[in-house]
Structure 1
Amino acid sequence: MKVYGVVGWKNAGKTGLMERLVTEISGYGFSVSTVKHAHHTFDVDQEGKDSYRHRIAGAREVLLASRNRFALMHEMRADDEPTLNELLGKLAPVDLVLIEGYKRDGHSKIEAFRAQTNNPLIATGDLTIRAVASNTPMPLDRPVFDLDDTVAVADFILSEVGLIK
């Protein structure tokens, strides 16, 4: 599986870019999965529902399934967060996995950047960031795309991972 990341500070446009990239790249006929890193406790379950009750009771894993989808919740009963590689190993094979977050991992990435957030550019100190998608032009030693030019960003990523030439 090919992997490529989208990173940036809060409110930089990562999630919107991810959403547009999934739509665009899927539209090219490639299969795409995503991984999203959360820096906080989150719940995909609803309090009071059977699956929530199973998990709270102490189940290590709860698989919730219907005719339309399934979700496997694995409760981390220790402080060790799984590595990105461990998580990628749990995904079914696809052409491309887009990763939102995991900015310090070693895979190639594109940085989403909005000037009005007043955050520093991550790319200046990180060579795993191969390009920047920004709402403002900037001189940089690697490609800079318009944050809203999804086609150009998608083509760059697909070229980087070898899915198109």
Structure 2
Amino acid sequence: MDITKEKKPKVFAVSGIKNSGKTTLVEKLVTRLTALGYKVGVIKHDGHEFVADHEGTDSYRHKAAGAKSVIVYSNSKMMLIKDYEKPDILDMLQYQQDMDIVIVEGMKYSSLPKIEIIRSAVSKTSVCDPSTLMAIVTDVPLKEANIPVIGLNDIDSVLKIILNK
């Protein structure tokens, strides 16, 4: 197999502060991109610890017994629960290599290319490094140097930026 011809997915983040609408934007992008025929993966960054499983399930019991990694699978899906000392986005991307596009939700301080969402209800300023921004999606009148500023409902313009980068 010629690894130089291996396809790598386009990877970018949808970032912003808490409650800015990241999940809603990601949902809209996934819907539109899959309708266009793209295989889309999502990696969700959670700044807080979360419980990926619940008490009483076999996988929960395996983790409680000390397993560092548990995979639960069926005929149509798989879930990986794995302990990391210091997770890296590259570790997560290895599970998305068969995708055309991978959207990382969160990671506002990462070096990933990103679309930042700014909502007037929660903030009126950017929190991301401008050098990482592909665009800002907002309901606030902004003028950012060299960064496209797109209205909240203009998904077509967001898609153009994603597909052309």
| Structure 2 length-normalised TM | 0.88
Deviation at 1:59, TM superposition (A): 0.9
Secondary structure, counterpart of 2:162 in structure 1: helix
Match of 2:54 among 40, 46, 53: 46
For the 8 Å contact 1:5–1:107, the answer to whether it is kept is yes
Given the alignment of the two structures, is residue 158 of structure 1 paired with residue 163 of structure 2, yes or no? yes
Given the alignment of the two structures, is residue 105 of structure 1 paired with residue 110 of structure 2, yes or no? yes
Match of 2:126 among 115, 121, 124: 121
- Consecutive unaligned residues of structure 1, counting only runs of 5 or more, are 161-165
CA distance in 2 between counterparts of 1:10 and 1:16 reads 12
Given the alignment of the two structures, is residue 131 of structure 1 paired with residue 138 of structure 2, yes or no? no
Counterpart in 2 of 1:26?
34
Deviation at 1:119, TM superposition (A): 5.2
Match of 1:148 among 142, 146, 153: 153
Amino acid in structure 1 at the alignment position of 2:150 = F
Cα root mean square deviation, aligned: 1.5
Counterpart in 2 of 1:13?
21
CA distance in 1 between counterparts of 2:125 and 2:141 reads 15
Deviation at 1:37, TM superposition (A): 0.6
CA distance in 1 between counterparts of 2:138 and 2:22 reads 11
- Consecutive unaligned residues of structure 2, counting only runs of 5 or more, are 1-8
Amino acid in structure 1 at the alignment position of 2:113 = S
CA distance in 1 between counterparts of 2:52 and 2:97 reads 20
CA distance in 1 between counterparts of 2:118 and 2:111 reads 20
For the 8 Å contact 1:55–1:75, the answer to whether it is kept is no
For the 8 Å contact 1:7–1:112, the answer to whether it is kept is yes
Deviation at 1:137, TM superposition (A): 2.4
Going from structure 1 to structure 2, the CA distance change for 1:62 and 1:46 (only over 3 Å counts) comes to: same
CA distance in 2 between counterparts of 1:119 and 1:83 reads 29
For the 8 Å contact 2:16–2:106, the answer to whether it is kept is yes
